[in-house]
């Protein structure tokens, strides 16, 4: 019974993740395509970034975005947020994997460990999706700067960063 329940939960989790990633491809396309713009394509559970016919890695994107200060600042925020998700994802995956192994070996299910592992994994996935969203917004900001030479005021000037607070402690800082 426990194995059937676990199998059902795993199938529902995979189906939920797969179905949650649908979206419109038209929103990712720019109206004016230039050679030096970065194209964003939905690929699997994330996005792929290309410039012309060349696939870009994180380091390539960083070096390209350095020419636009606001886009680069958003990219750096996405970079550090993505590293914040790793401990949560690893801890959650480890705890869930440990419980799956216990169930398969016929041992008693520890619901506390299962709940903590699920919560950690959900937090890690949530933080990683925020980082991916912020990376996508930084690339859009870069492309917008190429197409619009006139400065525009937008709500993208608001940023949440993890670091040293003005009082000298560690925490999240809100700048606007």
Sign of CA dihedral 166, 167, 171, 176: negative
d(CA 44, CA 47): 7
Q: What is the pLDDT of residue 120?
A: 94
What is the rounded average pLDDT of the residues 143-158? 64
What is the rounded average pLDDT of the residues 131-160? 74
Number of H helices, E strands in the chain: 4, 5
User: What does DSSP say about strands 39-43 and 46-51: parallel, antiparallel, or unpaired?
Assistant: antiparallel
Per-residue pLDDT tens digits for 69-116: 888 888 888 888 888 899 999 999 999 999 999 889 989 888 899 999
Q: What is the pLDDT of residue 30?
A: 39
Per-residue pLDDT tens digits for 19-45: 444 444 444 443 444 557 888 777 776
Q: What are phi and psi of 163, to 5 degrees?
A: 175, -155
Range ranked top by mean pLDDT from 11-20, 77-86, 153-162: 77-86
């Amino acid at each position: 019974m426990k194995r059937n329940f676990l199998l059902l939960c795993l199938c529902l989790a995979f189906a939920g993740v797969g179905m949650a990633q649908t979206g419109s491809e038209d929103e990712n396309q720019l109206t004016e395509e230039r050679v030096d713009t970065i194209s964003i394509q939905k690929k699997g559970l994330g996005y792929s970034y290309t410039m012309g016919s060349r696939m870009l890695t994180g380091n390539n994107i960083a070096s390209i975005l350095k020419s636009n200060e606001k886009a680069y600042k958003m990219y750096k925020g996405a970079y550090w947020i993505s590293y914040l998700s790793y401990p949560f994802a690893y801890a959650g995956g480890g705890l869930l994997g440990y419980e799956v192994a216990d169930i398969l070996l016929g041992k008693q299910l520890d619901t506390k460990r299962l709940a903590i592992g699920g919560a950690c994994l959900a937090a890690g996935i949530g933080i990683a999706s925020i980082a991916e969203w912020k990376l996508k917004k930084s690339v859009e900001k870069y492309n917008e700067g190429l197409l619009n030479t006139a400065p525009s005021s937008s709500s993208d000037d608001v940023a949440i960063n993890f670091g040293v607070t003005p009082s000298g402690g560690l925490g999240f800082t809100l700048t606007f």
